[in-house]
Amino acid sequence: GSHDTMTYCLDENSAVSGNESKVVRFLNKCMPCIVHPIIMKWSITQVLTVTEQLEAGVRYLDFRIAHKANDPSTNLYFVHMVYTTVTVQDILWEVLRWLETHPQEVVILACRNFDGLTKKLHCLLITCIKEIFQCKLCPRNVSMRCVFSPFVRMIYYLIFDSKFLEIFCFHYKSNLHPTVWRRELNLTVMSVELWNNSRDTTFLLSSEEYLMCHLLIFVSEKFFVAGINLTENLRYILIHPFGSLKKMTLRSLPCLRIWIKQQYPGPKKECINIVAGDFIGSDDFVKDVIELNTKI
């Protein structure tokens, strides 16, 4: 998986998201020439396009969707502190084009945040998804265990012949459409970022108690998404004005790679199924995650 998938195309001229802290918005308003470039350096988590990520082996896309404040149109964008240059609709079409050339692949789109989306805009988003992917959407009543089982031959027929190639996971409270898999339903994706708000990989990787505290939330027939992305706060950024999220991440990759290789996939409570990281393609991250399947 790729964390904050769409940050490779953040708009340098974009306003700061209304969901960011008042301090960040105030500083950006007072000193845009200084603050905005810093915001950009700490907002970008990916450099490969969606198609390049899929080609690299990513099958879980993390979409943070938003509607720009004071925008009279119904266009939706992606957001991570600032908004993207491309719309959600354009990227959904790009994913579809890739899937049409790779008909035996399963891709999970985790849609979340929904900053500034009204109920009407949310309905428009789901309508757009249904119109673009149509029969490729995986029905909600199909067991995850069946969809991804590598052992049951009939399940492969279910996926390939029926072309159920997409699973959409919405973190949203309203049950708007029966084809959408939501966080509250039995079939869903659980997302916990093990490294949330941490810059110290040494501590987290050596703390077995910390890891098990998170891993034990696994429930049968639900995915566990381990987000191994390091995150920053305002204080850390101010102390490191010449740093960037990329520098911080690349420096930590050797430690994170050791942790990945120690994991096990499968249905047990101590197992993980999806690992999402930053700057896909910078090392052997995808290869290391896929090789975990040899342990099954």
Reference 164, options 183, 194, 187, 193; nearest CA is: 187
Beta-ladder partners of 108: 60, 167
Per-residue burial over 9-47, b if 16 or more Cβ lie within 10 Å, else e, is bbeeebebbeebeeebbebbeeeeeebbebbbbbbbbbe
Q: Token pair for residue 163? A: 């072309």
For helices 88-101 and 119-133, angle between their N-to-C axes, nearest 10 degrees: 20
**What is the spatial distance between Cα 160 and Cα 83, in angstroms, rounded to a whole number?**
36
Q: Give the per-residue pLDDT at 206.
A: 43
Q: How many other CB atoms are there within 10 angstroms of residue 165's CB atom?
A: 22
- Check if the beta carbon of residue 115 is closer than 8 Å to that of residue 67: yes
Averages of pLDDT over runs of 10 residues in the chain (296 residues) are 94 80 68 76 92 95 92 95 95 95 87 89 91 82 58 44 63 57 38 43 43 37 68 73 83 85 80 86 89 90
Based on DSSP, count helices (H) and strands (E) in the chain, helices before strands: 12, 9
- Check if the beta carbon of residue 195 is closer than 8 Å to that of residue 204: yes
Record the pTM: 0.80
DSSP string, 123-169: HHHHHHHHHHHGGGBPPTTS-HHHHT-SS-HHHHHHHHHHT--EEEE
In this structure, the chain runs to a length of 296
Backbone phi, psi, residue 100, to 5°: -65, -25
**What is the spatial distance between Cα 263 and Cα 194, in angstroms, rounded to a whole number?**
13
276 Cβ contact partners less than 8 Å away, ≥ 6 residues apart: 1, 2, 3, 60, 62, 225, 226, 227, 228, 229
The model's pLDDT over 90-107, given as tens digits with 9 standing for 90+, comes to 999 999 999 999 988 888
Q: Where are the domains of the chain?
A: 22-295
Backbone phi, psi, residue 196, to 5°: -55, 130
The CATH number of 22-295 is which of 3.40.50.720, 1.10.510.10, 3.20.20.190, 3.30.750.24? 3.20.20.190
Cα 184 vs. chain centroid, distance in angstroms?
18
Read off the DSSP letter of residue 269: T
